[in-house]
A = this chain, B = another copy of it.
Amino acid sequence: MNCSMLRAASRPLQTLRRSANVRTTSFPLQNCRWASSAVFNWEDPLAASELFTEEELAIQDTARQYCQERLLPRVLEAYRNEDYDRNILLEMGEIGLLGASIHGYGCAGASTVASGLITKEVERVDSGYRSGMSVQSSLIMTGIYEFGTQEQKDRFLPQLAKGKLLGCFGLTEPNHGSDPGSMETVAREHPTRKGYYSLSGTKTWITNSPISDVLLVWAKLESTGKIKGFLVERSKCPPGTLETPAIKNKTALRASITGLIQLDECPVPVENMFPDVEGLAGPFTCLNSARLGIAYGVTGALEDALSRAREYALERKQFKGNPLAKYQLIQKKLADAATDAAYGTLAATQVSRLKDAGKSAPEMISMVKRQNCDRALANARTLQEIFGGNATSDEYHIGRHVANLFVTQTYEGQSDIHSLILGRAITGIQAFV
């Protein structure tokens, strides 16, 4: 079974596990008889790992090892040059990281928590790399898995799982961000080709669109006015009917590739349409999966920011040779970040468990996506202060995390929009308009 490598992984990543157990000196408020058996681990302050199974921990370790050894070394140049290496998805496919919670089709069939831990490890390196993976795993693979015909699943999922086919997800349009229901992309009966639809319209801010082989495009069926999902295969599109120009000079997520999808009377066969799902239920199912991944993922970026800030604070000396780590104002920033990372991990884990038990609601995902992104961003910004002027050097990585995390707060439901989703769920009244 081709995901055996992932499942079998269990070697401890000693080289990655940093000195977790700080021995604190004797001081007020600390000694405690009943708790003396446990040692506080600043990298997992509330012992979330106690909630994970052996398999989940093994998957996390495998993901972490790959990310630290293979992704971290190339992120700096990738971000500088806005250069996404599409081999990354191939590599991820090889070790089973893609579509990890899908059963069958060469996927790992792991838990939603395991999936979340993978996104966390990828985002510990870079939110852009995680975005590239989320598109593949949560948006297109989940879409096909949930809504595709058996033929569509058989044809696409195994290749997508291996990263041999790349996919993207076309929902957002230039004039319709938070309000996709107003989309203008349309699917008409093709005027000349029997059994084909003709798709026209423009999608924007589409991660991976310039390098995608199969594009999941949501469009309104002209005949019904209802939104439907179409799998557009680049190789089969006549010239001029599909363009996917990249968006350059981004201010963040520069290690991922983003572009438009421009469809001009592009013919798509009927059998490439999702048969049953209609309206926003389709895209929102995919987005909810992705959002839960984001909620997990950003805690990885925050933990990396914390770890780097801590290290910097311990090494950097100011005023009589004291490390920055000795200053109260610094310690408070570290404590705040550690707290929010720990809380966010617990909440994402809870919703993941509920999801696997069939007990999650979309508003739960709004809650953890919003809160974890908001807090990761806020804390990363505060941690950035610790680096002083050196934050301006990209080699400290903190500026990159800060810029990236702003986007996570914004995409797949901007923070305020999720506030209003929650507000509606709490009050029963909608306040969008």
A284 CB–B CB distance under 8 Å: yes
Task: List chain B residues, Cβ under 8 A from A3.
Answer: none
Return the chain B residue nearest A34 by Cβ: B285
Q: CA A411 – CA B425 in complex, angstroms?
A: 30
A314 CA to B326 CA in the complex, in Å? 22
CB–CB B433/A34 < 8 A: no
User: In the assembled complex, which residues on chain B have CB atoms less than 8 Å from the CB atom of A249?
Assistant: 80, 393-395
Asked if B205 and A389 make an inter-chain contact with CB atoms under 8 angstroms apart, the answer reads yes
Instruction: Given the known inter-chain contacts A32-B284, A288-B32, A417-B29, please indicate yes or no for A328 contacting B423, CB distance below 8 A.
Output: yes
* Residue with the greatest number of chain B CB neighbours at <10 A, chosen from A40, A250, A355: A40
Q: In the bound complex, do residue A423 and residue B335 qualify as a contact, i.e. CB atoms below 8 Å apart?
A: yes
Q: Mark A310-322, 1 if CB is under 8 A from B, else 0.
A: 1001100111101
* In the complex, A400 has a CB within 8 A of chain B: yes
Chain A window 327-367, contacts with chain B (Cβ cutoff 8 Å), 1 for yes, 0 for no:
11111101110110011101100110011011111111111
Q: Is A399 an interface position by the 8 A CB rule?
A: yes
Q: Counting CB contacts under 8 A, is A154 at the interface?
A: no
Q: How far is the CA of A42 from the CA of B336 in the complex (A)?
A: 26
Complex Cα spacing A355 to B50, Å: 12
B29 in contact with A362 (CB, 8 Å): yes
A358 with B392, Cβ < 8 A, contacts A285-B32, A347-B346 known: no
Q: Take A35-B362, A427-B331 as given contacts and tell me if A178 and B370 are in contact as well, using a CB distance cutoff of 8 Å.
A: no
A426 at the interface (CB under 8 A from B): yes
Q: Does A429 contact B (CB under 8 A)?
A: yes
A410-433, CB < 8 A from B:
410-411, 413-433
A403, B384: Cα distance in complex, Å: 11
A28 touches B (CB below 8 Å): yes
- CA A48 to CA B338, docked complex, whole Å: 22
User: Which of A53-61, A211-219, A262-270, A274-282 lies at the binding interface?
Assistant: A274-282
Given contacts A249-B394, A343-B371, A389-B205, contact A423 B320 (CB under 8 A): no
Of the stretches A18-26, A160-168, A192-200, A235-243, the one at the interface is A18-26
Selecting from A5-13, A88-96, A169-177, the interface stretch reads A169-177
Dominant secondary structure at the A interface: helix
A71 interface residue per 8 A CB criterion: no
Task: Tell me, in angstroms, the Cα distance from A124 to B370 when the chains sit together.
Answer: 26
Task: Answer whether A421 and B277 are a contact pair too, CB < 8 Å, given A322-B433, A389-B410.
Answer: no
Residues of B within 8 A of A208 (CB): none
Instruction: Name A's B-contacting residues (CB within 8 A).
Output: 22-25, 27-35, 37-40, 42, 45-48, 50-51, 80, 146, 172, 175-182, 205, 247, 249-253, 258, 277, 279-281, 284-285, 287-289, 310, 313-314, 317-320, 322-323, 325-332, 334-336, 338-339, 342-344, 346-347, 350-351, 354-355, 357-368, 370-371, 381, 384-385, 388-395, 399-400, 402-403, 406-407, 409-411, 413-433
Q: Are A419 and B326 in contact, with the CB atoms below 8 A?
A: no
Given contacts A32-B281, A416-B385, A422-B338, contact A432 B319 (CB under 8 A): yes
A34 to B102, CA, bound (A): 13
Chain B: minimal CB distance from A129 (Å): 16
Residues from chain B with a CB closer than 8 A to the CB of A32 are 281, 284-285, 288, 362
Contact A30 B326 (CB under 8 A): no
Write 24 A-B pairs (CB below 8 A) sorted by A numbering.
A29-B421, A40-B425, A45-B367, A46-B368, A47-B350, A172-B389, A178-B319, A182-B319, A249-B394, A250-B392, A313-B427, A314-B427, A320-B433, A325-B429, A328-B329, A329-B329, A329-B416, A331-B420, A331-B422, A338-B422, A339-B371, A343-B346, A346-B346, A392-B407
